[in-house]
């Protein structure tokens, strides 16, 4: 199955390693993709979810070992999409955390290739969490900050500020729960990447899911 004449690339996170932490959306895309371009850290049981007949292309990297240049990976994604194929770019963890997903998103944006992002459970959060270490704590210094509200849902929005001002910005913009706080200079890439993202994969929630959403008082 293809996602249209020009194809599309899904930048998909496979989670930190345990196949049980693969998201439902990732499993759905694997089951229908024409091409799966995958990294070294992707578990074999995750790859087993790819549909029969799909092209499985390994582009893994290993420190001081064999490398596939990033430029070649980007060119491969663009080529496969331009052949009209639905492509899953499968990365360990989350595609935007240590996965060079931002570089690939920018390359796809510049090439005019449709793409979207399917977040995965990041080892940057899962690893410390499984070791009992919180990755955030009150009392840190001033940095660029962004709050992402209702991530992946049709009502998703982003509010930017600094670590010292983000609380006031959140109150002024009436940001609700759930929301994710992002810190650091990477916030500045949002203006370049967000404009090229495809629309959310579901324009409206199924009735049972909508009924389960928290209601504001």
User: Do 40 and 62 form a contact (C-beta atoms < 8 A)?
Assistant: yes
Rounded CA-CA distance 163/147 in Å is 10
The one catalytic residue in 34, 39, 94, 116 is 39
Q: What is the pLDDT of residue 183?
A: 83
94 carries an active-site annotation: no
Domain ranges of the chain: 8-123, 139-199
Rounded CA-CA distance 159/94 in Å is 22
- pLDDT, block means (10 residues), the chain with 217 residues: 69 92 96 96 94 95 75 97 97 90 96 96 78 63 85 84 93 91 84 74 46 42
Q: What is the pLDDT of residue 63?
A: 60
In whole angstroms, how far apart are CA 176 and each of 20, 89, 157? Answer: 30, 32, 11
Rounded CA-CA distance 13/42 in Å is 9
Q: What is the pLDDT of residue 191?
A: 81
Q: 139-199: which CATH number, 3.40.1180.10, 3.30.950.10, 3.20.20.70, 3.40.50.300?
A: 3.30.950.10
In the 8-state DSSP scheme, what is residue 210?
A: H
User: Do 91 and 13 form a contact (C-beta atoms < 8 A)?
Assistant: yes
User: Domain 8-123 falls in which CATH fold?
Assistant: Cobalt-precorrin-4 Transmethylase; domain 1 (3.40.1010)
Q: What is the pLDDT of residue 185?
A: 83
User: Do 197 and 102 form a contact (C-beta atoms < 8 A)?
Assistant: no
Structure tokens at 154: 């049709």
Q: What is the helix (H) or strand (E) element at residue 87, kind and residue range?
A: strand 86-91
- Coil, helix or strand for 79? helix
61 carries an active-site annotation: yes
Shared fold status for 8-123 and 139-199 = no
Give the position of tokens 């491969």: 76
Q: What is the pLDDT of residue 140?
A: 55
Q: What is the pLDDT of residue 168?
A: 95
Q: What is the pLDDT of residue 59?
A: 94
In whole angstroms, how far apart are CA 182 and each of 57, 157, 161, 185, 188? Answer: 32, 13, 10, 10, 11
The one catalytic residue in 18, 34, 45, 61 is 61
Q: What is the pLDDT of residue 139?
A: 63
Q: What is the DSSP secondary-structure string of 78-138? A: HHHHHTT-EEEEEESB-TTSSS-HHHHHHHHHHHT--EEEE----HHHHHHHHTT--S--S
- Report pTM: 0.75
- Coil, helix or strand for 106? helix
């Amino acid at each position: 199955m293809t996602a249209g004449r020009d194809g599309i690339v899904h930048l998909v996170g496979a989670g930190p390693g345990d196949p049980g932490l693969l998201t439902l959306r990732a499993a759905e895309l694997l089951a229908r993709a024409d091409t799966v371009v995958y990294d070294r850290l992707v578990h074999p049981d995750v790859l087993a979810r790819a549909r029969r007949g799909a092209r499985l292309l390994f582009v893994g990297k290993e420190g001081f070992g064999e490398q596939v240049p990033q430029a070649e990976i980007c060119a491969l994604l663009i080529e496969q999409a331009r052949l009209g194929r639905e492509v899953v770019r499968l990365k360990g963890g989350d595609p935007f955390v240590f996965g060079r997903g931002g570089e690939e998103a920018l390359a796809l944006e510049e090439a005019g290739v449709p793409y979207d992002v399917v977040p995965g459970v990041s080892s940057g959060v899962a690893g410390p969490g499984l070791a009992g270490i919180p990755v955030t704590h009150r009392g840190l210094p001033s940095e660029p900050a962004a709050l992402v509200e209702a991530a992946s849902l049709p009502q998703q929005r982003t509010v930017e500020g600094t670590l010292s001002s983000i609380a006031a910005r959140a109150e002024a913009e009436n940001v609700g729960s759930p929301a994710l706080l992002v810190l650091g200079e990477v916030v500045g890439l949002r203006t370049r990447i967000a404009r090229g993202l495809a629309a959310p994969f579901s324009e409206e929630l199924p009735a049972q899911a909508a009924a389960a959403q928290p209601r504001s008082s």
